[in-house]
């Protein structure tokens, strides 16, 4: 059985837009699947359409327009979308003027084919074409179905002020790059999101300042590989920038510093780091600023160098271990999490055991774990046989999930008896009298509310814990 909890966490819970102020006009319902990048894109779409008079609703049954922001990373991510479309179908039968649009990675992957496969769909729009949504909607109003899946070399939506959806008012995402230039053999993202582009650092810093001014206290900088961020003045990253261009360029470490300098009370996180590109400059900047959180998500995928080579990840087990040693040395208090795939093409039992031993060696705080799912068009689909039997993939997955459960428990327990600086994000789901937030290491901490509120920094002494949550009291 696939590990549902962890997979769903990664997929992200479906996001329902909080009901906006009721104005006369059209209502849209946006639901997002997949990674943080998709959730962030939905906020760009909400902004584009709010200018066209659309307000948001949390109830799809009263919407004039349903948009579903899709993920294509694994087969089950796509299945979930297909099932959801079936549910929307019953509403459309009662209300034929309801418009249904699919956006995001599955839209990009399937293109116009989507219209043939799912009769309910009116609009198919890829990740780089969201500015054209008003035109696409007009076509549908004129009786035509509409598709735009053009990928771009320079679109970063830098000038669009996202409408924060489903927000706690404390934490927000800021996209810093789009697309991906790596060709990991298993991965569909380069096909669905196109070439890597970096966004103007000035627009990023301004967005962080504006969020801080509105009361936000934490931003997460987003990219498929944040370490390869490089601003040389716009457009595609050059393969061979000149010496002069490099001197004037902004690297990820420099960007991180600029965002950290916005205000000491604004926490900064980032995701995702790529082991081949995450060098010591970034770790040193993290160590220099208290408000950059001590947490690195460093997906390893496999602990065996031959598998990593087949995956085309660009690093070996030894290189990865060296990166971990650097983190431990420069930032001893840093939490580390990872992504792992079990049962990639040709993975032997011994190779699987190398993943197990690496997990134990690192002692990950957290991990997202997946059984390999072959994706059309990828290097692996063209070059290798998907030859690890499904049951065996799942057995290996179950193994590492159990191990990670133990490792996570140990990491959380190590925080008991210590004082944690917690940024309060919300009232706890379990009790009205408790607040919930996270420490710098990204562990959830809950404690009695007293007079504290959302957006406060509170020092909490952890007294006890569950596998993933510290429980304590303010001191």
Would you call 21 exposed, middle or buried from its count of C-beta atoms within 10 A (0-12, 13-18, 19+)? Answer: exposed
Piece of the chain touching ligand SAH by CB under 6 A; list 12-20, 48-56, 182-190, 451-459: 182-190
- Comparing every residue's Cβ against ligand F3S, the nearest one is 34
Query: Can residue 187 be called a binding residue for ligand SAH (CB under 6 A)?
Result: yes
Query: Can residue 71 be called a binding residue for ligand F3S (CB under 6 A)?
Result: yes
Say if residues 70 and 105 touch (Cβ distance below 8 Å).
yes
Query: At closest approach, how far in Å is the CB of 380 from ligand SAH?
Result: 8
Piece of the chain touching ligand SAH by CB under 6 A; list 14-22, 52-60, 184-192, 208-216: 184-192
Interacting positions 52-111 with ligand SAH (CB under 6 A): 73-74
Say if residues 97 and 109 touch (Cβ distance below 8 Å).
no
The number of angstroms, rounded, from the C-alpha of 311 to the middle of its chain's C-alpha atoms is: 21
Among 217, 267, 274, 396, binds ligand SAH (CB under 6 A): 274
Query: Can residue 38 be called a binding residue for ligand F3S (CB under 6 A)?
Result: yes
CA separation, residue 239 to residues 191, 196, 282, 455 (Å): 19, 11, 22, 42
The arrangement of strands across the sheet holding 335-342 comes to 295-297, 335-342, 366-371
Helix axes 133-141, 36-50, angle to 10 degrees: 60
Among 189, 283, 388, 423, binds ligand F3S (CB under 6 A): 189
Query: Can residue 129 be called a binding residue for ligand F3S (CB under 6 A)?
Result: no
Say if residues 182 and 467 touch (Cβ distance below 8 Å).
no
Contacts of 75 (CB under 8 A, 6+ apart): 373, 374, 375
Nearer to ligand F3S, 104 or 437 (CB): 104
Query: At closest approach, how far in Å is the CB of 75 from ligand SAH?
Result: 8
Among 171, 224, 355, 408, binds ligand SF4 (CB under 6 A): 224
| Rounded (5°) CA angle 121-123-124 | 100
Piece of the chain touching ligand F3S by CB under 6 A; list 186-194, 312-320, 328-336, 412-420: 186-194
- 3-state DSSP assignment of residue 130: helix
Query: At closest approach, how far in Å is the CB of 293 from ligand F3S?
Result: 22
Query: At closest approach, how far in Å is the CB of 256 from ligand F3S?
Result: 22
Give residues in contact with ligand F3S (CB under 6 A): 34-35, 37-38, 71-73, 104-105, 188-189, 192-193
């Amino acid at each position: 059985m696939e590990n549902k909890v962890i997979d769903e966490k990664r997929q992200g819970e479906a996001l329902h837009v909080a009901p906006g102020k009721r104005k006369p006009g059209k209502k849209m319902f946006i639901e997002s699947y997949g990674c943080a990048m998709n959730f962030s894109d939905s906020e760009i779409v909400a902004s584009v359409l709010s200018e066209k008079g659309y307000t948001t609703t949390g109830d799809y049954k009263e919407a004039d327009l349903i948009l579903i922001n899709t993920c294509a990373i694994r087969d089950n991510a796509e299945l979930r979308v297909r099932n959801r479309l079936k549910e929307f179908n019953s509403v459309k039968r009662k209300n034929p003027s309801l418009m249904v649009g699919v956006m995001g990675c599955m839209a990009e992957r399937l293109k116009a084919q989507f219209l043939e496969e799912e009769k309910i769909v009116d609009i198919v729009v890829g990740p780089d074409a969201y500015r054209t949504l008003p035109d696409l909607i007009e076509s549908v109003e004129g009786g035509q179905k509409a598709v735009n899946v053009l990928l771009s070399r320079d679109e970063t939506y830098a000038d669009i002020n996202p409408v924060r959806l489903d927000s706690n008012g404390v934490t927000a995402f800021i996209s810093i790059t789009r697309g991906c230039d790596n060709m990991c053999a298993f991965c569909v993202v380069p096909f669905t999101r196109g070439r890597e582009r970096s966004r103007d650092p000035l627009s990023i810093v301004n967005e962080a300042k504006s969020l801080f001014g509105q009361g936000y206290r934490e931003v997460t900088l987003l990219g498929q590989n944040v370490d390869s961020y490089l601003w040389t003045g716009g457009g595609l990253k050059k393969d061979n920038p000149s010496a002069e261009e490099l001197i004037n360029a902004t690297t990820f470490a420099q960007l991180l510093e600029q965002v950290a300098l916005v205000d000491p009370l604004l926490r900064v996180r980032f995701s995702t780091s790529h082991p081949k590109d995450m060098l010591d400059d970034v770790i040193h900047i993290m160590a220099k600023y208290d408000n950059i959180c001590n947490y690195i998500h460093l997906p390893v995928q496999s602990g065996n160098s031959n598998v990593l080579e087949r995956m085309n990840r660009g690093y070996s087990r030894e290189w990865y271990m060296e990166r971990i040693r650097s983190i431990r040395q420069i930032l001893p208090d840093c939490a580390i999490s990872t992504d792992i795939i079990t049962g990639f093409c040709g993975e032997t039992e011994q190779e699987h055991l190398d993943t197990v031993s690496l997990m134990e060696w690192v002692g990950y705080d957290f991990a997202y774990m997946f059984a390999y799912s072959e994706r059309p068009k990828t290097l692996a689909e063209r070059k290798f046989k998907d030859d690890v039997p499904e049951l065996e993939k799942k057995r290996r997955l179950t193994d590492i999930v159990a191990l990670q459960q133990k490792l996570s428990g140990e990491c959380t327990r190590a925080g008991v008896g210590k004082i944690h600086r917690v940024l309060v994000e919300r009232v706890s789901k379990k009790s009205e009298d408790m607040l919930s937030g996270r420490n710098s290491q990204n562990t959830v901490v809950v404690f009695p509310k007293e007079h504290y509120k959302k957006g406060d920094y509170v020092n909490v002494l952890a007294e006890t814990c569950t596998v993933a949550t510290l429980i304590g009291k303010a001191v």
